[in-house]
Structure 1
Amino acid sequence: MSSPVKVLTVGSAVGSIKELFAKIKAIDAKHGKFDFTICVGDFFGAPKDATQDYTEDHELIQLLEGRLEAPMECYVMQGEHPLPPPVIEKFAKTGGVLSQNVFLLHKSGVLSTAQGIRIACLGGVYDSNLYTASETAHGFTSPYFTSQNVEKLLANTMTSSKPQERNYTSLASIASATTPSQLVDILITNAWPAGIAHLSSAPLPAPELSAIGVEPVGEVVRKTKPRYHFAAGGGHPPRFWEREPFLWEDENGRVSRFVSLGAFGGEQPSGKKQRWFYAFSIAPLSPTSDPPPKPANATQNPFLHRAPKRALAMDSGDDYRWGNQQQPGKRSRTDGPSDKPPPGYKCKICESADHFISECPDREKPHEGYICRVCNEPGHFVRDCPVKNAVGDTGGKKPREGYVCRACGSELHFIQDCPVANQTGGRQGGGRRAPPKPIAPDECWFCLSNPNLAKQLIVSIGTECYVTLPKGQIIPTHQGANHPNAPPVPGGGHVLIVPITHYPTYLSIPPDLADPILDETEKYKSALRALYAKHNAVAVCFEVGRISAKGGHAHVQVVPVPNKLRNAVEDAFREEGRALGVEWEEDADEALRACAGGRGSYFRVDLPDGRKMVHLIRERGPFSIQFGRQVLVSILGMADRFDWRACTQPEEEDREDAQAFKAAFLSFDPSLV
């Protein structure tokens, strides 16, 4: 076992940064030397109102400008508030280095410290209504985490990165950054995990804390099995509580400890101030490390021995209104959605006691031809639309298809809910908005320097571009792989060609830099056409070249289509385009020249016979970024594969597809010539 690492963990500073640093320095002088400090919870406190500015003498600005020094290496996280815009801007520029010795962990971040300690972080708070409704992972401008944040965190546990070591330039460097285990040494979250107090005899400082845990954090604990788990959201104000340790017998007797810290700054509970710091030593583990000694006060594992769910019905006596019956019309917490109604309930439509009103067979149905104006689907009224109350990526109402936020170019929120439009300092003199903040590498799904990139899907890296399988590709490879129109290309064959350098579109690449990128892209297209031909298929290539305020990352999607359907491709694009108002330019090359230099947005298709189709996307006009996929699934008769999220697979199956494609592409790969 390696030498122990001495760690200091502190609770929420809530903006009292200078005072906290002074306390850390004093603790280090008395009990150190510590190797680093982990700052759990709200380090910065709530951000200022959009009408207020951060002055030069504000502690946050002093920190970001290097005028407020940390006494040692400190890792900070997002707590229960959105992060202040100046912090987000600094994070975007540096990838997390806020100042010397102060590092901001990603909302779904995992890193290895210089001492070899793996730290995982899940920032933000939990809201059951937003957790599954949101279609994207929330960033620092939102106080919430979503299911996508949790998925990203668990995916990131399969990589190994250190601060300043996030540049991947080859498959070898990407492979070296992967790890076969999701286990982490330290997990920090704002929320408690569900069931953490189960099987514990350690008294809680407040009875309401027994019910504050959330299941998604519990799932992270079950997957990562942290040796130490620190949380900051133990009530309002936060209270200190340390649970007895528990073991994971299937991991060589691995020991986990959970500690919820009180806050250093902000509002304090009445009475004695809660303990806000925790010091401990931890040594990096290796596969040959001896099993740790079992702590004398260890309990059964609360995540393996789950607490039974409590029924809502009262059993301590008759209710004064309903006797010993449950109130009609209300379901118990343990009831499922198809349970029978409780005694006394009657459906308001047919007065039956056998079903709820939402399940009534006599409920009015729309007449034939009726289309819901919310989701544009038949079969239900607007009142019953399943996506009527869908939530956008920033917590507001989700826009209808085709809406584009004018501030940042997103299709996932209205402009009034846009963090770019509403960011501090977002308006300049005269009431004009400042330019929206561009996408940073840690936010871009295609930048190789992004630690969240799905590296297991990359199949080739050239000098200027790389090729990757997409998440949720159109061609089924495991479930549904026997579809009659699925080309037999190993691994599916639906790939993306992506320039390594970040440009929003291919036509926005500066002319003096464009030639080698364009040449290599065409070489990859030719190689893919040759591979597909070997499997009786042709290539359809398309690019959504949209210039947005935030700036995307250029890429071309290439999809194999069986030879028998090659003549249907052009007609399908024209027919689908006609229905959606997509008009095609008569001279495709002239249309592309008009967009050169980033002067306009476009949609380009390379047909199997080599001809091009181009649609010029109007500024602020409706255009679905899924149009290309929509046409391809129509051609292939795979309407059920329109939504890529419904086509995602377990990581193990993604790896199998990538390996199968790489093996088949090996003799065609231009990067190996």
Structure 2
Amino acid sequence: MASMKILTVGSPAGSIRELFAKVKALDAKHGKFDLLLCVGDFFGPPKDEGEAYADDDEVVLLLEGKLEVPLECYIMQGEYPLPAPVIEKFAKTGSALAKGVNLLRVIITPKGLRIACLGGIYDSNLYAASESAHGFTSPYFTSQTVDRLLSNTLTTSKPGSQQNYTSLAAIKANAATSQLVDIFISNAWPSFIAHASDAPLPDQALSSIGVDPVAEIVRRTKPRYHFAVGGGQPPKFWEREPFVWDEDNGRITRFVSLGGFGSPPTEGKKQRWFYAFSIAPVTPDNPAPPRPANATRNPFTEEITRPPKRPLESDEGANYRWGDVKQPGKRSRTDGQPGKPPTGYKCKICESPDHFITDCPDRAKPKEGYICKICNEPGHFVRDCPVKNAVGDTGGRKPKEGYVCRACGGENHYIQDCPVANQPSGGRGGRGRGPPKEIAPDECWFCLSNPNLAKHLIVSIGAECYVTLPKGQIVPTHTAGDHPNAPRVPGGGHVLIVPITHYPTYSSIPLDLSPPIINETDRYKDALRSLYAKHGAAAVTFEVGRLTAKGGHAHVQVVPVPNKLKDKVEATFLDEGRRHGIEFEADPEEALRACEGGRGSYFRVDLPDGRMMVHLFRDHVPFSVQFGRQVLVSLLGMQERFDWKTCLQSEEEDKADAEAFKKAFAPFDPSLIA
């Protein structure tokens, strides 16, 4: 089995361009490497609230694809929240933040290596108390974060298989019982990692920094390599001797904590910030690996005696918390008044000698400078946080400002409470779901009865459907000269075909009612193809047939592409799909039949040559509703037009585009042809 050569580096802390330059030099000297793993904080501390990212900021340049990425790179969240532009990009594109740069959770490489990641830092109070996994606006991981990671390591793929799994979606579709991973990276150290080791620690304080949740992940996944970067401030390099899992065919684990690439210099020896190694997948017929000569006892399987708890009452020396006094757990009746602190005691909150800390009147308010770890505001403890129990629009906990659900783009619920991410339909042959709850006409963007509908963009109304220009269309109509691949259709040519009657998807329209709607939709598609052909372009049509809890309004988007690019449409959809774990069905017609009657969600593309591509949504696997637009702006070389909101025009400009399109479309418009 072919091995992979991997380079792992410590926290760049925002020095992205410099890191990539160093990695490029290392690759030229010691490569070629197959993969780059960045442990710890890739972006460094986020900006202060209200402080914008400049156009030349390295974060912005990376997200816009303007930095040279020397290797396929996987990054993680370290001890800080991710920057706002990164969270926004993740909400739109998923794990692929830029070409060659991916946010790591759980992946299986094309060569069959399993890699898992736990980002963030540990707080014992938040870990147990949080009711959900935090988003990237929080630096903390919770018990739900760990549970999700462990469940996502399940896979049926046999060790050493070369199935082309490149996404969490592919893993979930093949979930079974094995949880073993080849590489695990975390920001925090596991507890007891220094136990039974003779390798000298760079700082003795590191012997007690490990946390139990990370240790539990190690016990369950038994990684062959475990990389961390939480070894002090700034991070220090430490490589532990290997240890063996006897019950798993002598599986060997190596733990390495890396120094930070972007850390300030420290006194003494320069901390090592990179680690290169080769690793091949384990195959079923592999013999047990030889036990390394320097292997130690396994710190995760041997019984470890924790230090005994200090007795509540002791006269031997000073107490670690209360000073040279007896514990208040058993209040002395011979030293002071009953119920009063002993001589020498001072409340840790207000320093008064007259009461215990549990009776302090200031206990309800924090000291000056205390910041709540939930809302990042002063003036109250975590337990009293006013947004701790705030409810979002789907009934779950309300997210912090700036959070965006990556399943549906909503800002008022976490993804675990999202009706789109949690819908039971979407898999091949999966259980059907009941008809989605209809939304009121004044809430639907596409119902003609909605008084807020942008009627000035409508360009044709038939018996069953209408055609409208979208807000913020892909095609730049007033700056087309700046884009060599911009189609030359009057008014832009990017339109939506929308059934007048409200149905969630085309496949959910009852079979006895669908023929006239589908026939008129097809007539509009043919008419648009004729219009585009007159102006040297071909049509690409796509539908996000997504069933939601409220029930969306079915529509298809039709976008012109220059004839010189029409033969590249299919390959671009396939390439972008592979980057995001989106797989297209071998039999698209059969896939759509499986969704009839509202039995599943899907994404459909009609190619310029008349063929069709279909992707079926899978249970609990998010799908970006902007995927079709993302593919086409990439094909047209107009990535800056990915976000429709940034492409909005004035109403006067929209009306001018609508009039230009109607005039050009009139000879082909089915509603005007007898």
Equivalent position to 1:319, from 308, 317, 320: 317
Are the aligned partners of 2:11 and 2:39 in contact in 1 as well (CA < 8 Å)?
yes
Structure 2 residues not aligned, in runs of 5+: 158-162, 342-362, 365-370, 448-498, 512-545, 555-596, 601-674
Are the aligned partners of 2:81 and 2:139 in contact in 1 as well (CA < 8 Å)?
yes
Are the aligned partners of 1:326 and 1:342 in contact in 2 as well (CA < 8 Å)?
no
Distance apart, 1:224 and its partner CA: 0.6
Give the whole-Å Cα distance in 1 for the aligned partners of 2:142 and 2:217. Answer: 13
Are the aligned partners of 2:152 and 2:168 in contact in 1 as well (CA < 8 Å)?
no
* 2:8 aligned residue: 9
Give the whole-Å Cα distance in 2 for the aligned partners of 1:142 and 1:55. Answer: 23
Give the whole-Å Cα distance in 2 for the aligned partners of 1:505 and 1:252. Answer: 63
SS at structure 2 position matched to 1:13: coil
Equivalent position to 2:326, from 304, 325, 328: 328
Distance apart, 1:237 and its partner CA: 0.6
Equivalent position to 1:412, from 397, 411, 415: 397
Q: Is 1:254 paired with 2:251?
A: yes
Give the whole-Å Cα distance in 2 for the aligned partners of 1:219 and 1:118. Answer: 18
* 2:283 aligned residue: 286
Going from structure 1 to structure 2, the CA distance change for 1:418 and 1:401 (only over 3 Å counts) comes to closer
Equivalent position to 2:415, from 425, 430, 443: 443
Distance apart, 1:266 and its partner CA: 2.7
Q: State the Cα deviation string for residues 565-603 of structure 1 (Å, max 9, x = none).
A: xxxxxxxxxxxxxxxxxxxxxxxxxxxxxx9989xxxxx
Greater Rg by CA: 2
Letter paired with 1:438: G
Give the whole-Å Cα distance in 2 for the aligned partners of 1:253 and 1:400. Answer: 49
* 2:61 aligned residue: 62
Give the whole-Å Cα distance in 2 for the aligned partners of 1:401 and 1:313. Answer: 34
Q: State the Cα deviation string for residues 317-371 of structure 1 (Å, max 9, x = none).
A: 941699xx9953267xxxxxxxx889989996699xxxxxxxxxxxxxxxxxxxx
Q: Superposition RMSD on alpha carbons, in Å?
A: 4.7
Letter paired with 1:113: T
Give the whole-Å Cα distance in 1 for the aligned partners of 2:504 and 2:400. Answer: 37
TM-score (normalizing by structure 2): 0.55
Give the whole-Å Cα distance in 1 for the aligned partners of 2:140 and 2:319. Answer: 40
SS at structure 2 position matched to 1:37: strand
Distance apart, 1:521 and its partner CA: 11
Give the whole-Å Cα distance in 2 for the aligned partners of 1:303 and 1:596. Answer: 50
Give the whole-Å Cα distance in 1 for the aligned partners of 2:220 and 2:435. Answer: 32
- 1:138-149 equivalences under 5 Å are 138-149=134-145
Give the whole-Å Cα distance in 2 for the aligned partners of 1:95 and 1:251. Answer: 35
Letter paired with 1:272: K
TM-score (normalizing by structure 1): 0.55
* 1:137 aligned residue: 133
Equivalent position to 1:555, from 543, 549, 553: 549
Are the aligned partners of 2:505 and 2:547 in contact in 1 as well (CA < 8 Å)?
no
Going from structure 1 to structure 2, the CA distance change for 1:350 and 1:260 (only over 3 Å counts) comes to closer
Equivalent position to 2:209, from 212, 235, 246: 212
Letter paired with 1:515: Y
Letter paired with 1:128: S
Going from structure 1 to structure 2, the CA distance change for 1:404 and 1:181 (only over 3 Å counts) comes to closer
* 1:429 aligned residue: none
Identity %: 47
Q: State the Cα deviation string for residues 510-543 of structure 1 (Å, max 9, x = none).
A: 55385365996999xxxxxxxxxxxxxxxxxxxx
Give the whole-Å Cα distance in 1 for the aligned partners of 2:7 and 2:304. Answer: 32
Give the whole-Å Cα distance in 2 for the aligned partners of 1:62 and 1:299. Answer: 46
Q: Is 1:45 paired with 2:30?
A: no
Letter paired with 2:154: M
Going from structure 1 to structure 2, the CA distance change for 1:347 and 1:410 (only over 3 Å counts) comes to farther
SS at structure 2 position matched to 1:515: coil
Q: State the Cα deviation string for residues 293-339 of structure 1 (Å, max 9, x = none).
A: 111111111001133111354999941699xx9953267xxxxxxxx
Give the whole-Å Cα distance in 1 for the aligned partners of 2:13 and 2:269. Answer: 19
Give the whole-Å Cα distance in 1 for the aligned partners of 2:318 and 2:389. Answer: 54
Give the whole-Å Cα distance in 1 for the aligned partners of 2:401 and 2:396. Answer: 13
Distance apart, 1:101 and its partner CA: 1.0
SS at structure 2 position matched to 1:7: strand
* 1:515 aligned residue: 503
Distance apart, 1:555 and its partner CA: 3.3
Q: Is 1:122 paired with 2:118?
A: yes
* 1:34 aligned residue: 33
Going from structure 1 to structure 2, the CA distance change for 1:53 and 1:401 (only over 3 Å counts) comes to closer
Give the whole-Å Cα distance in 2 for the aligned partners of 1:100 and 1:186. Answer: 23
Give the whole-Å Cα distance in 2 for the aligned partners of 1:502 and 1:91. Answer: 30
* 2:629 aligned residue: none
Distance apart, 1:64 and its partner CA: 0.7
Give the whole-Å Cα distance in 1 for the aligned partners of 2:297 and 2:222. Answer: 14
Going from structure 1 to structure 2, the CA distance change for 1:218 and 1:58 (only over 3 Å counts) comes to same
Letter paired with 1:22: A
* 1:97 aligned residue: 96
Give the whole-Å Cα distance in 2 for the aligned partners of 1:442 and 1:411. Answer: 7
Are the aligned partners of 2:77 and 2:120 in contact in 1 as well (CA < 8 Å)?
yes
Going from structure 1 to structure 2, the CA distance change for 1:505 and 1:37 (only over 3 Å counts) comes to farther
SS at structure 1 position matched to 2:232: coil
Letter paired with 1:412: R
SS at structure 1 position matched to 2:178: coil
SS at structure 2 position matched to 1:9: strand
Aligned residues: 428
Are the aligned partners of 1:195 and 1:303 in contact in 2 as well (CA < 8 Å)?
yes
* 1:359 aligned residue: none
Are the aligned partners of 1:197 and 1:243 in contact in 2 as well (CA < 8 Å)?
yes
Give the whole-Å Cα distance in 2 for the aligned partners of 1:206 and 1:502. Answer: 62
Are the aligned partners of 1:329 and 1:345 in contact in 2 as well (CA < 8 Å)?
no
* 1:86 aligned residue: 85
Are the aligned partners of 2:109 and 2:166 in contact in 1 as well (CA < 8 Å)?
no
Equivalent position to 1:224, from 216, 221, 225: 221
Are the aligned partners of 1:83 and 1:141 in contact in 2 as well (CA < 8 Å)?
yes
Going from structure 1 to structure 2, the CA distance change for 1:192 and 1:167 (only over 3 Å counts) comes to closer
Give the whole-Å Cα distance in 2 for the aligned partners of 1:66 and 1:274. Answer: 31
* 1:236 aligned residue: 233
Distance apart, 1:98 and its partner CA: 1.4
SS at structure 1 position matched to 2:21: helix
Letter paired with 1:419: E
Q: State the Cα deviation string for residues 88-130 of structure 1 (Å, max 9, x = none).
A: 111111111111111112xxx2111122111101000001111
Q: State the Cα deviation string for residues 262-288 of structure 1 (Å, max 9, x = none).
A: 000032322222000001111011222
SS at structure 2 position matched to 1:132: helix
Going from structure 1 to structure 2, the CA distance change for 1:293 and 1:320 (only over 3 Å counts) comes to closer
Are the aligned partners of 2:431 and 2:599 in contact in 1 as well (CA < 8 Å)?
no
Give the whole-Å Cα distance in 1 for the aligned partners of 2:206 and 2:388. Answer: 42
Structure 1 residues not aligned, in runs of 5+: 332-339, 352-382, 424-435, 468-495, 524-551, 557-594, 599-668
Letter paired with 1:329: Q
Distance apart, 1:131 and its partner CA: 0.7
Letter paired with 1:90: K
Distance apart, 1:144 and its partner CA: 0.6
Are the aligned partners of 2:11 and 2:229 in contact in 1 as well (CA < 8 Å)?
yes
Are the aligned partners of 1:10 and 1:276 in contact in 2 as well (CA < 8 Å)?
yes
* 1:578 aligned residue: none
SS at structure 1 position matched to 2:205: helix
- 1:554-633 equivalences under 5 Å are 554-555=548-549
Give the whole-Å Cα distance in 1 for the aligned partners of 2:435 and 2:120. Answer: 32
Are the aligned partners of 1:12 and 1:232 in contact in 2 as well (CA < 8 Å)?
yes
SS at structure 2 position matched to 1:247: strand
Q: Is 1:277 paired with 2:265?
A: no
